[in-house]
Amino acid sequence: MTTEPLFSIPRSLESETVTITFDDEALRVPAGISVAAALLVGGVHDFRSSVVGQVPRAPYCMMGVCFECLVEVDGVPARQSCLVPVQDGMQVRRQIGAAELDDVSFGEEP
């Protein structure tokens, strides 16, 4: 899923790193940055597929406005990855189409 990254962070700055996964692939990224930034420097080009045409999308604005960076974070769908800071062990998944409520229990049948 990952290829040559479009952005990179120069190694000159010695910073802590954390490990997250994107679709089960481990990515070692600097601590304190957003999930969207982490995925971009980790070589992820395709964050989600669009809800109608099912075509690849990636962040456009990086400031919480465009909602193109939606991914699933630790089981919660449709998170704005540009607004969520990375945390060690975070499990991120590509979001396919619209968010669904497939894990929600609707209660017992009478």
In the bound state with other proteins, the residue whose beta carbon lies nearer, of 9 and 96, is 9
Report the DSSP pairing between strands 56-57 and 48-49.
antiparallel
Find how far residue 25's CA is from the centre of its chain: 12
Per CB under 8 A, residues contacting other proteins are: 4-10, 12-13, 30, 32-34, 37, 40-41, 45-47, 50-53, 55-68, 70, 76, 78, 80, 83, 85
Q: Minimum Å distance from CB 110 to other proteins?
A: 23
Distance between CA atoms of residues 99 and 74, nearest Å: 14
Q: Minimum Å distance from CB 11 to other proteins?
A: 10
